Structure 1
Amino acid sequence: MFEFAGLMGRIEFYMLRIFLLIGSVVLSLFLYESKGQVRYDADPSAFLLPEEAPATVRLLASGLISTGLDETGGVFSPDYHQFYFTINHRNETFAIVYIRYESSVWRYPEVVSFSGLYNDADPFITECGTRLYFSSTRPVEEGGRSDVWNIWYVQRYDGGWGEPVPVVFDPDRHERHPSKTNAGDLYFHADYGSSLVTYDLMATNIYVSTFVDSNFNQPTKVVSYLLSDYADFSPVVSPDGRYLIFASNRPGGFGGADLYITFRDGEGNWGKVENMGEIINGSDNEHFPSISPDGRFLFFSSNRRVPHVRTSRQMDYTYFKRTGLGPGNGFNDIYMIGTYQFDPESTKEKPEDE
């Protein structure tokens, strides 16, 4: 009897120790959560963006957004509580993913509710944040083809996205990378000049469709200096329609695809196209540009490689993981730079120390 009582006493003692240990761990986590962790309640974007828009190209959120996977086409929601971008695998499988600010912390990336079944890419969020346009290969009608890119949109309801709705001008031609002005003009690129059903990038040009009477008009080619016999693609237009940035492999660049810009004149015509220069462009590919909601940042994707200098130190396995699986490994990453570098009317003036 006494042995049994002693055994029960020891069990109760150890159980008490376990409960105290669990309590101390919970308390430590609470203290860390409340005091040790940096919060961004006043400005969630402060975790991802610098206070001043940079004068030189910088990687966006290394390890969280730019990870060594193939990431392109990133856009913030107007309140900066979500960031949407595209991940693709060897140009065969595409999905739209996003990170969200919730309970005072940024969550890890996850596929959005409407993506993951078909190839989806090129997210663009309107100024009010209630509609998201994107490109997709999903069939326009039941039983239709799933090998052609077209433009779709989803509407936000009660904090979530609804079902995708097509904005299709030609179901047998590729239409990608939508960008919309506040006035309702929809810019995108399409390979209407191709006689093939395959995606002929060299046949792409930039088109615009105006929004009239609750419908998009038949698109027209953006004319003047924008026209070329080379690939002109992935356009983004400023919300006020004042300037247009796009990628092209036309001659005279720095190698691969470069970013170019054109401004609209006082009569509404697009002016001369200018290469955005070596501060942005390099020997690899720069493409898929986007503008931050406040107009201060230009985001774009590039597959530029980060050089790794050999040292006298013996290389180990960790070295190869870090250089081969991280940003700058030759897949696309997302970069940023201040728009004041090219836009004299940027909403953020150039810092005094630059």
Structure 2
Amino acid sequence: MPGITRAAMAALSLTMATGSVALDSHQSPYLGQVPPGDTPKLFAPGMVNTGAVELNSVFSPDGKEFFFTRMIDGPDEQQGYPGKGRLILFHTTFSYGGWNPPKSLRLYPGSPHTWAADMSLSPDGQRLYFMGPYEPETGGEGNLNIWVSEKGEDGAWQPASPLPAPINTDAQEVYSSVIADGSLYFTTYANGDGDASRDGLHRAQAKVGGGFEAPVPVQIPGGNSVGDTFVAPDESYLIFSSERAGGIGGGDLYISYRAADGSWGAPINMGPEVNTERLDYCPVVSRDGKYFFFSRRTSEPANGGWRKVVAGDVYWMSADIIERLRP
């Protein structure tokens, strides 16, 4: 085969043997995708975005693992959306010069239950946090809680366990974001029990030696309509999804910058570069600060929520927008 180098032949042989997608090393951090500019583009069509409903996007600190969520169509008696399928964590790794096909992660101990979404990673990449409704005592579904899986010495993710109180409560705890010191941001919904003070974004300080202090509410101007929150590792800004008045679509992404006194500034709509008439949600900024990832979801009717979802995709764009919007 004239023109094919020995190295290329080796890469081709390895790809055929392992089933991975061979990529140049400089491409590997982002599944071999051409970096985007200021216009959002679909991330990894055919591998992440497949025509199913996909959401979430988290890379490990070393760039060799990628996590996302996919809704698998069809009824499932163990899941929360009868007739619409189930949300499942998917995971792909970079090895032997290529990205391996994504595989589902089943992390509930001793159970085939799979409903899980909205993952985040600890700064060292050794703990995977995610949201799920699994109820260990009954084997069925209960409140949404935050779970954590530890990475084993062999690199495999171990059976997960729910975070203990005071993180998980009798309310719904969802969508975690871990900052540089290991502290945890997450959102609580109080199940309509009348105590609206429990709703909204919370922060739990990481303890030396493990665990968390009691979570405290995070005050964002404009009310507690704050969901799917990503917090910068240094807590200099946060991005969240909200259906607050004045938005562009069914739910927009907003950014709030932290002031010198520690308070959070008035949320800024991220504008038509990001937001559409669809639901724009699940924001994440890559660990190197270069790229902004988020998800879009379409339901019919628009207010149909997850039970009426018809489309969902993961997008990415340059993270320069974060500085352009800074007051």
TM-score class normalised by the smaller sequence: 0.7 to 0.9
- Deviations along 1:273-317, one digit per CA (max 9) or x if unpaired, are 111111000111000111111111111110269xxxxxxxxxxxx
Q: Distance in 1 between matches of 2:160 and 2:325?
A: 36
CA distance in 1, matches of 2:68, 2:310: 18
What secondary structure, in the 3-state scheme, does the structure 1 residue paired with 2:323 have? coil
Q: Pick from 83, 93, 96: which aligns with 2:89?
A: 96
The answer for the alignment partner of 1:163 in structure 2 is 159
Q: CA deviation at 1:117?
A: 1.6
**SS at the partner of 1:45?**
helix
Q: Which runs of 5+ in 2 are unaligned?
A: 1-7, 16-20, 74-79, 300-308
Aligned to 2:56: 73
> In the superposition, relative to structure 1, how do residues 276 and 100 fare at CA in structure 2: closer, same or farther (>3 Å)?
same
Measured after TM superposition, the shift of residue 68 of structure 1 is 1.2
Counterpart-to-counterpart distance in 2, 1:45 and 1:215: 31
The counterpart of 2:43, out of the listed 49, 52, 60, is 60
Matched, 1:209 2:207: no
Structure 1 268/67 Cα, relative in aligned 2: closer, same or farther at 3 Å? same
> Which runs of structure 1 show a deviation greater than 4 angstroms over 4 or more consecutive aligned residues?
29-32, 34-38
Does the CA contact (< 8 Å) of 1:127 and 1:293 recur in 2? no
Aligned length: 287
State the shift of 1:157 in Å: 1.5
Preserved CA contact (<8 Å) 2:24 2:32: no
* 1:106 to partner: Cα distance: 1.6
Contact 2:295 2:313 (C-alpha < 8 Å) held by counterparts: yes
* Matched-pair identity in %: 27
Cα 1:103/1:191, change in 2 over 3 Å: same
- Secondary structure of 1:225's partner? coil
Deviations 1:122-178 (CA, angstroms, capped at 9, x unpaired): 111122111111111122x53376221100111111211122122143442111110
Q: 1:101 to 1:345 in 2, by over 3 A?
A: farther
The residue type equivalent to 1:272 in the other structure is A
Contact 1:244–1:263 (CA under 8 A) maintained in structure 2: yes
The one-letter code of the counterpart of 1:167 is: L
Q: 1:43 to 1:89 in 2, by over 3 A?
A: closer
Using the TM superposition, give the Cα deviation of residue 95 of structure 1 relative to its aligned residue in structure 2, in angstroms. Answer: 1.1
Amino acid at match of 1:174: Q
Partner of 1:178 in structure 2? Answer: 176
Residue 30 of structure 1: how far off its partner (Å): 5.7
Q: Which runs of 5+ in 1 are unaligned?
A: 1-28, 306-328, 347-354
Measured after TM superposition, the shift of residue 85 of structure 1 is: 0.7
The structure carrying a bigger strand percent of its residues is 2
Amino acid at match of 1:270: W
Deviation, 1:253, is 0.5
The one of 223, 245, 266 equivalent to 2:260 is 266
Match of 1:5 in 2: none
State the distance in 1 between where 2:282 and 2:247 align. 17
TM-score, normalised by the number of residues in structure 2: 0.79
1:131 corresponds in structure 2 to 127
> Which structure carries more helix by proportion?
1
